[in-house]
C-alpha cells in the first residue's frame, strides 16, 4: 500500500510521517519512506543524512543521456542502480529523498524512467509512505499516480482545512480510486476538532493532540526513531491503522 | 577476427595466469538443483554479503564472439566463494563470454545484456550501471544459509544466456579476490564498452561522418566495426 501524507505547509505532515516511519520500523514491514518535500524535513526528523537524492539521480541520468549511446534499457538499469545507491537504510526501512529539483531543461524521457523506477521500487516493499510537498503541486503533476490512500493533514485552522479539501478535490480527479481521510493535528481541546469535523465534508479519521514530547523532539532536532510512546504517537498510529496502512 | 578479440585475449590471459598460479577454481558442475527465482529486494538488515559495493571494487563485462570461441558451461572463480568470505563484502567482477551466430550485433547486444541483468534469483539483488560497468549485488542471509554460491549464479547466468537467439555456448568468470585483480581487466572492460558504444552509435544515429565521430580511433583499428559500418552504409541491416 502506498500512502501519501498531504496538506498545507506547517500543519505537521512531516511529524506525522516521522511517527508513521517509526511505527513501520517497529512493525517489521519492509517499507519505503519517501521524503518528497524539497525542504527535506523528514530526513532531519528521522536523523537521516541522505548521501544522494533523487534529483542527484536525475542529474546523473541526464548526463548519461547527453553522453549518448545509451538506449532506454541501459538508462532504466542505471536508474535502478543509482536509486538503490540513493537509499539510506535503517530498521527494515529504506529512505529516499527527492531533493530540490533544479531547472535543467526538459527531459521527459528521464522523468518517465524515474517515475517508473520509483513505482517499481515501491512495488517491492510491503508499504510506502510519502511525505508530500506542501500544497497541491505534486498531486497536480500526477507524481502520486500510484498512491492508494491520501492522508490529509490539517491543524484546527479553517485555512488548513480548506487546503486539505482542495487537495482532496484534485486528488479525487487524478487518482479516483485512492482513499482519503483527514487527520486533525495539534488539537488542544476536543471542541476544536468537533468544530473542524462539523465544518468539512472530509471524513475525519484521526485527532492528534498537541503534545509536549513531540514539541520537544521538534525543537531539539531529536530523531523521531527515539520518540517514546506519547499521546500524539498513539493517535497517529491509530489514524494510520484506520487508513488501513498499519495493522 | 571478432569484435572483442583483444578483450577476450586479455580475459584468457588472466584465466591462464590465475590457473598457473593455482588461484582459479572451475565451478563447471554447480549445484544439482538450479537456484529458484524469486524476490530481488534485499535490504541492508537482511544482507549476509555484499558483492561489488562501489567502495570495494566492481566490474561487469559482456562480450560475444563467433561460434567455438567460448568454453560452453565453464564457470571460473578467482577468490573466495560466498561461504568462504571473511567479511561482510567482497570485491566483485563478472565477465561473460557468449559465442554463437549474431548477424545483427545491435539486437544481439540488447538480448545478451537483458539475459545478464534478468537472472532474478531468490535472495540475490543485482544492480548494474552499464556505462560504468559496475555490478552491485546483495546476498540475503536466507540465501547464504541455504548455500547460495557463485556456482549457482554462474549456472543461472549461462542458462539465461543460452536462451538468447544465436547463442551456442557461454562461459563466465567471477573475481572476488581483490580490487587489484579486478583492475587487471578494467582496461579490457573499458575497451569492450567503447566498442559497444561505437556500434550503438552506428545503429542508433545512422550517421557515418567519421570526421566528426569520437569513435574514429576504434573504428579504424577494429575490423569488425568497419564491417558493421559497411553493412549499415550498404543498407543491408536495419536497426531492430
* CB-based contact A126:A114 (threshold 8 Å): no
Predicted complex ipTM exceeds 0.85:
no
Query: Average pLDDT of B33-46?
Result: 87
- Number of independent structural domains in chain B: 1
For residue B226, how many other CB atoms are within 10 A of its CB? 12
Round to whole Å and give the CA distance between B238 and B240: 6
Three-state DSSP class for residue B112? helix
B237 touches chain A (CB under 8 A): no
Nearest residue to A124 via CA among A97, A150, A149, A87:
A87
Cβ B130–A77 below 8 Å, yes or no?
yes
B43, B131, B197 ranked by CB distance to A30: nearest: B43
Average pLDDT, integer, range A164-183: 93
How close does chain B come to A176, measured CA to CA in Å?
Answer: 30
A25-64 residue pLDDT tens: 999 899 999 998 877 799 999 999 888 888 888 888 888 8
For residue B94, tell me if it sits in a domain. Answer: yes
pLDDT at B104 over 80: yes
In a domain, A233, yes or no: yes
In a domain? residue A61: no
Q: Which helix (H) or strand (E) holds B92?
A: strand B92-100
CATH code assigned at B43 = 3.30.1650.10
> Is position B142 within any domain?
yes
Q: Give residue ranges of A with CB < 8 Å to any B CB.
A: 30, 64, 67-71, 73-74, 77-78, 80-82, 84-85, 89-92, 94, 124-125
Range of the domain at B106: 7-179
Report the residue count for chain A: 247
Mean pLDDT computed over every residue of chain A: 88
CA distance B233 to B210: 12
pLDDT at A17 (0 to 100): 97
Which pLDDT score is estimated for B182?
A: 97
Q: What CATH number does the domain containing A41 carry?
A: 3.40.50.300
- Per-residue pLDDT reduced to its tens digit, B105-141: 888 888 999 999 888 899 999 999 888 899 999 999 9
Measured between alpha carbons, how far is A82 from A80 in angstroms, rounded to an integer? 6
Distance from CA of B204 to the nearest CA of A (A): 8
Asked whether the beta carbons of B37 and B121 are under 8 A apart, the reply is yes
Alpha-carbon torsion (B29, B34, B35, B40), positive or negative: positive
pLDDT above 70 as % of chain B? 95
B134 contacts A82? CB cut-off 8 A? no
The span from the CA of A184 to the CA of A111, in Å, is: 34
Would the pLDDT of B68 be above 70? yes
Question: How many domains does one find in chain A?
Answer: 1
Show the domain range for A189. Answer: 2-51+88-101+124-242
Q: Quick one: which H or E segment has residue A137? A: helix A137-140
Contact across the interface for B110 and A71, Cβ inside 8 Å = yes
Could you tell me which chain A residue has the CA closest to the CA of B133?
A78
Q: Choose the mutation target among B39, B43, B58 for the interface with A, i.e. most A CBs under 10 Å.
A: B43
Three cell numbers written together for B21: 598460479
Residues with Cβ within 8 Å of B217's Cβ and at least 6 positions away in sequence, in order, are none
The answer to whether position B129 is within a domain reads yes
Burial of A150 (0-12, 13-18, 19+ CB in 10 A): buried
Tell how strand A88-90 and strand B58-66 pair up.
Answer: unpaired
In residues, how long is chain B?
Answer: 240
The confidence score (pLDDT) of residue B108 equals 87
Q: Residue A195: inside a domain, yes or no? A: yes
Q: Is residue A115 part of a domain?
A: no
Residue B43 pLDDT > 80: yes
Strand partners, A191: none
Q: H or E element: which one contains A113?
A: helix A108-124
pLDDT above 90 coverage of chain B, percent: 61
Are A110 and A55 in contact by the 8 Å Cβ rule? The answer is no
Asked whether residue A74 is domain-assigned, the answer is no
In a domain, residue A214? The reply is: yes
Nearest to B3 by CA among B47, B58, B69, B80: B69
Instruction: Please report the pLDDT score of residue B240 as a whole number.
Output: 46
Question: Does residue A188 belong to any structural domain of this protein?
Answer: yes
Task: Give the separation between CA A28 and CA B185, rounded to whole angstroms.
Answer: 42
Which residues, other chains included, contact B32 with Cβ-Cβ below 8 Å and sequence gap of 6+?
A: none
CA-nearest of B109, B95, B28, B99 to B69 is B99
pLDDT at B213: 79
A107 located within any domain:
no
In the predicted structure, residue B60 carries a pLDDT above the cut 70: yes
- CB crowding B74-110: b at 16 or more within 10 Å, else e: bbbbbbebbeebeeebbbbbbbbbbbbebebbbbbbb
Amino acid at each position: 500500500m502506498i500512502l501519501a501524507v498531504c496538506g498545507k505547509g506547517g500543519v505537521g505532515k512531516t511529524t506525522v510521517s516521522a511517527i508513521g516511519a517509526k511505527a513501520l520500523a517497529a512493525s517489521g514491514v519492509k517499507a519505503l519512506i519517501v521524503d518528497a518535500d524539497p525542504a527535506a524535513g523528514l530526513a532531519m526528523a528521522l536523523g537521516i543524512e541522505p548521501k544522494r537524492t533523487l534529483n542527484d539521480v536525475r542529474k546523473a541520468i541526464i548526463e548519461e543521456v547527453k553522453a549518448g549511446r545509451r538506449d532506454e534499457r541501459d538508462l532504466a538499469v542505471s536508474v535502478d542502480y543509482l536509486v538503490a545507491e540513493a537509499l539510506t537504510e535503517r530498521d527494515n526501512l529504506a529512505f529516499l529523498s527527492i531533493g530540490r529539483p533544479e531547472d535543467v531543461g526538459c527531459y521527459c524521457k528521464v522523468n518517465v524512467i524515474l517515475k517508473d523506477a520509483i513505482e517499481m521500487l515501491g512495488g517491492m516493499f510491503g508499504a510506502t509512505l510519502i511525505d508530500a510537498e506542501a500544497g497541491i503541486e505534486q498531486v497536480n503533476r500526477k507524481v502520486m499516480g500510484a498512491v492508494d490512500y491520501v492522508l490529509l493533514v490539517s491543524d484546527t485552522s479553517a485555512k488548513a482545512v480548506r487546503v486539505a479539501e482542495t487537495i482532496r478535490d484534485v486528488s479525487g480527479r487524478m487518482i479516483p480510486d485512492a482513499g482519503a481521510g483527514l487527520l486533525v493535528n495539534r488539537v488542544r481541546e476536543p471542541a476544536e476538532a468537533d468544530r473542524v469535523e462539523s465544518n468539512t465534508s472530509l471524513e475525519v479519521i484521526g485527532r492528534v493532540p498537541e503534545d509536549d514530547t513531540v514539541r520537544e523532539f521538534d525543537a531539539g532536532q531529536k530523531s523521531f526513531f527515539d520518540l517514546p510512546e506519547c499521546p500524539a504517537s498513539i493517535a497517529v498510529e491509530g489514524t494510520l491503522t484506520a487508513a488501513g496502512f498499519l495493522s | 577476427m571478432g569484435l572483442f578479440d583483444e578483450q577476450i585475449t586479455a580475459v584468457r590471459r588472466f584465466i591462464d595466469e590465475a590457473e598457473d598460479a593455482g588461484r582459479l577454481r572451475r565451478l563447471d558442475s554447480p549445484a544439482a538443483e538450479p537456484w529458484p527465482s524469486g524476490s530481488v529486494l534485499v535490504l541492508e538488515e537482511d544482507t549476509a554479503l555484499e558483492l561489488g559495493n562501489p567502495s570495494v571494487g566492481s566490474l561487469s563485462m559482456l562480450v560475444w564472439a563467433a561460434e567455438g570461441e567460448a568454453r560452453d558451461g565453464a564457470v571460473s572463480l578467482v577468490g573466495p566463494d560466498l561461504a568462504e568470505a571473511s567479511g561482510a563484502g567482497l570485491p566483485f567482477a563478472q565477465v561473460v563470454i557468449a559465442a554463437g551466430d549474431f548477424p545483427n550485433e545491435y539486437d544481439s547486444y540488447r538480448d545478451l545484456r537483458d539475459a545478464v541483468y534478468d537472472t532474478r534469483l531468490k535472495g540475490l539483488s543485482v544492480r548494474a550501471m552499464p556505462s560504468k560497468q559496475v555490478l552491485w549485488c546483495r546476498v540475503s542471509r536466507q540465501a547464504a544459509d541455504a548455500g547460495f554460491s557463485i556456482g549457482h549464479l554462474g549456472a543461472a547466468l549461462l542458462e539465461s544466456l543460452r536462451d538468447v537467439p544465436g547463442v551456442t555456448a557461454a562461459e563466465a568468470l567471477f573475481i572476488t579476490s581483490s580490487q587489484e585483480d579486478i583492475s587487471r581487466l578494467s582496461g579490457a572492460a573499458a575497451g569492450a564498452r567503447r566498442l559497444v558504444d561505437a556500434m550503438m552509435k552506428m545503429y542508433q544515429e545512422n550517421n557515418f561522418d567519421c570526421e566528426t565521430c569520437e569513435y574514429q580511433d576504434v573504428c579504424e583499428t577494429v575490423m569488425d566495426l568497419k564491417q558493421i559500418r559497411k553493412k549499415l552504409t550498404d543498407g543491408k541491416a536495419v536497426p531492430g
